[in-house]
Amino acid sequence: MKALVTGITISLTASVTAWTMASGEIEAVLQNSFVAKNQATMDRLQRDAVQSACSAPRGMPLDNDMLASLRAERLDAVVLPADGEYLGDWQRGAEVAGNGRGLQSSDDPTQPNGGNCYACHQLAPVEVAYGTLGPSLTGYGARGQSVAMLQYTWTKLWDTHAYNLCSHMPRFGAQGILTEQQLKDVMAYLLDPASPVNQAAE
């Protein structure tokens, strides 16, 4: 395992230099350009392997082998719910989906983080203030609740890069943005037939 990780790091570094100035240089620029503010600390400017691999300006050549192994690594690292229960309470899930706060320097760190799904997705048809960076998830529950479907959706929420490396969606589980319980609640909001996501608009 250790050897594999080192291999990835090396090939990553090699492909990174294809498009950046020495990445140390850009990191130094960023360190000099920002100041820590409340919970938004300076270590946030440090990229992990996924972030580095997904920072290439458009049209830059990418190392496909590296990307494939990185994606496989993310899939390996997904943590499924310990008790095997995927679905929580859709009403609490609605709150998580609508809450855009959390982890900004201006947010109260004692309050729970939101998932901000509405910033990027249409969900309940009655909510008109939805963003369009992601596909509409209205009627998502029609896909059913098979084990495969539950695991697919959980994995997508835990670490979207496990399926689609460099997706624009945040890694809600892997980055600790949402708790396991919040993820279950959002799962129910998507999949429970009683959830407004799965009710036709009046």
Q: From ligand HEC, another protein, none, which one binds at residue 164 (CB under 5 to 8 Å depending on kind)?
A: ligand HEC
Q: Mark residues 174-193: x for contact with ligand HEC by CB under 6 A, - for none.
A: ------------x---x---
Token pair 């997705």: residue: 121
Q: Is 120 in the site for ligand HEC (CB under 6 A)?
A: yes
**168 is a contact residue toward ligand HEC (CB under 6 A):** yes
Tell which residue, 74, 188, 162, 172, has the closest CA to residue 117.
Answer: 172
Question: What minimum distance in Å lies between the beta carbon of 131 and ligand HEC?
Answer: 7
Evaluate the CA torsion angle 72, 173, 195, 85 in order and state its sign. positive
Pick one of ligand HEC, another protein, none as the site partner of residue 121 (Cβ within 5 to 8 A by kind).
Answer: ligand HEC
| Residue 37 DSSP symbol | B
Distances from the Cα of 39 to the Cαs of 26, 35, 103, 110, in angstroms?
23, 11, 7, 11
- Residue 50 interacting partner from ligand HEC, another protein, none (CB closer than 5 to 8 Å by kind): another protein
Burial class (CB in 10 A: 0-12, 13-18, 19+), 197: buried
Burial of 138 (0-12, 13-18, 19+ CB in 10 A): buried
Return the residues of window 132-161 that contact ligand HEC according to CB under 6 A.
133-135, 137, 153, 156-157, 160
Binding stretches for ligand HEC (CB under 6 A): 97, 115-117, 119-121, 133-135, 137, 153, 156-157, 160, 164, 167-170, 172, 186, 190
